[in-house]
Amino acid sequence: MSLTDFLHGVETVVVDRGPRPIQTVRSSVIGLIGTAPGALAASFPLDTPVLVNRRQAAAAIGSTGTLPQAIDAIFDQGGALIVLVRVEHVATENEQMTKIIGGVDAVTGDFTGIHVFRAAEAECGVSPMILIAPGFTHQRPIGVSGHTITAQGDGYTTASVAFSGGGVGAVLPTATPIITNGKITGLEFQSLGYGIVSPVTATITGTGTGATVTITTGPAANPVVGEMKQLADGMKAHIIADGPSTTDAAAFAYRNDHGTRRVFVVDPKVSGWSVKTSTYAIEPSSPRVAGLISRVDNQLGFWESPSNKEVYGIGGLARPIDYAYGDKNSRANILNENQIATFIRDDGWYLWGNRTCSADEKFAFLCVSRTADMIDISIAKAHRWAVDRSITKNYLEDVTASVKAYLRQLKTRGAILGGDCWVDPEFNTEADITQGHVTFSYDFTPPYPAERVTFRSHLVSDYIRNLFA
């Protein structure tokens, strides 16, 4: 009501200003994708996010495929919230990987495969922050490893390249020829293909003639993890990727396929009690690690490292991992040195390793990377109220006070060592404000895990005198 309107009586004017409380988003929601051909379709429709909050809720998942065992492994660690996506079970591994990767259905326009996680918040009310695809992230399938232009040809203004061969079930690469002064000087690959078991031939066609190319193949990065990276970047999530679980060299090669803080590699696989065979069986370790992270988040906080925490339900490892206190040459330490988490046995089985595949040392530790994400997401989501408000002095003070109060709360809880929020004039010029653009700056320092603890030992004779005191 306008204060210039006439009123004979009493009215109340609500003053809608002041700082707002900020609620931290859920950090421990697990995004799980896989197969379950025996599932009840009404409860778990294909390519649809389904919220699972306890074992009983997954009773209709059946006992076949990758999902039943993964759900059991997650809930072995305690309570968890899972956004589950079931994809169609198909015969060959290559076809199955394609189903897991998914995309957008050409007919309905709906998301399929891992891209269904994009719809999780709208349909389930939560967004997964820990992504796993057990059974589909440990492979390094054969794809294109290089190419050589054996003849550049001439007269090309437009050109295309077609691939053939690769063997039964292979997914062939896709690429676009690079044209320089009418010659073919290289290929720009959109995908490297995978599951290739025989030679691949490339044929260049276009307005010119004479260009030929030779394709070489070799182990390529896991395509599911590769597709998940872009998804994880947008959702500020982390991928728990299963290593190859064969040799140290294979694990190192797998880790070197990735340079993002979004990927946390765990090797080897573990032995867990199988609900299918009623005996111990080798299974991917990512579900148990994801369940552990969820448990640590709920009990200690998202800023706490999951390393050196007991993993429940492990009967053994798929390959031996030796460890001894202070032994830099133990297999566990060598894997950790190469940013690969593993497991050690010392009064129980423990996750051992803190580091992501980040090329940026600032985000080397998983708990530091996740803490930064939780703070960024929570502050952004809590300030939708601030969008389209008039930019006034009170407005700037209210938003700044909200963030300051949230950072103080996090410091009290031990989530950060300190933080601040301010309005920087350099990023809020007159031109910015007149265009409706306002910028708030904030900083914080997360706690770092004590990955290396050193005791300095001194053997002295000083205390002999105490014998005669």
Q: Using one digit for the tens of pLDDT, what is the confidence trace for 83-96? A: 999 999 998 888 89
Is there a single domain that holds both residue 62 and residue 131? yes
Domain stop point among 177, 196, 219? 219
Specify the higher pLDDT residue, 435 or 465: 435
Is there a single domain that holds both residue 119 and residue 254? yes
210 in a domain, yes or no? yes
1 in a domain, yes or no? no
State the pLDDT at residue 128.
96
305 in a domain, yes or no? yes
pLDDT band at 456 (very low <50, low <70, confident <90, very high): very high
CATH number at residue 231: 3.40.50.11780
Query: Which of 7-16, 382-391, 411-420 is modeled with the greatest confidence?
Result: 411-420
Q: With helix as H, strand as E and coil as C, how does the chain read? A: CCCCCCCCCCCCCCCCCCCCCCCCCCCCEEEEEEECCCCCCCCCCECCEEEECCHHHHHHHCCCCCHHHHHHHHHHCCCCEEEEEEECCCCCHHHHHHHHHCEECCCCCCEEHHHHHHHHHHHHCCCCCEEECCCCCCCCCEEEEEEEEEEEEECCCCEEEEEEECCCCCECCEEEEEEECCEEEEEEEEECCECCCCCEEEEEEECCEEEEEEEEEEECCCHHHHHHHHHHHHHCCEEEEECCCCCHHHHHHHHCCCCCCCEEEECCCEEEECCCCCCEEEECCHHHHHHHHHHHHHHCCCCCCCCCCECCCEEEECCCCCCCCCCCCCHHHHHHHCCEEEEEECCCEEEECCECCCCCHHHCEHHHHHHHHHHHHHHHHCCHHHCCCCCCHHHHHHHHHHHHHHHHHHHHHCCCCEEEEECCHHHCCHHHHHCCCCCCEEEEECCCCCCCCCCCCCCCCHHHHHHHC
Mean pLDDT value across residues 455-463:
93
Number of domains, the chain: 3
Please say if the pLDDT value at position 424 is more than 90.
yes
Mean pLDDT value across residues 56-78:
93
Is there a single domain that holds both residue 208 and residue 236? no
Is there a single domain that holds both residue 209 and residue 111? no
Is there a single domain that holds both residue 313 and residue 403? no
Is there a single domain that holds both residue 310 and residue 251? yes
242 in a domain, yes or no? yes
State the pLDDT at residue 75.
95
State the pLDDT at residue 2.
59
434 in a domain, yes or no? yes
Is there a single domain that holds both residue 248 and residue 128? yes
CATH number at residue 202: 2.40.10
6 in a domain, yes or no? no
Is there a single domain that holds both residue 359 and residue 252? yes
Is there a single domain that holds both residue 164 and residue 123? no
Domain stop point among 186, 219, 252? 219
156 in a domain, yes or no? yes
- Domain range spanning residue 170? 142-219
Q: Using one digit for the tens of pLDDT, what is the confidence trace for 278-307? A: 899 999 999 999 999 999 999 999 999 999
Is there a single domain that holds both residue 110 and residue 199? no
382 in a domain, yes or no? no
State the pLDDT at residue 303.
96
Is there a single domain that holds both residue 198 and residue 238? no
Mean pLDDT value across residues 263-276:
91
Is there a single domain that holds both residue 229 and residue 119? yes
pLDDT band at 1 (very low <50, low <70, confident <90, very high): low
Specify the higher pLDDT residue, 191 or 380: 380
pLDDT band at 277 (very low <50, low <70, confident <90, very high): confident
Domain stop point among 166, 190, 219? 219
Q: Using one digit for the tens of pLDDT, what is the confidence trace for 146-181? A: 999 999 999 999 999 999 999 887 889 999 999 999
Please say if the pLDDT value at position 73 is more than 90.
yes
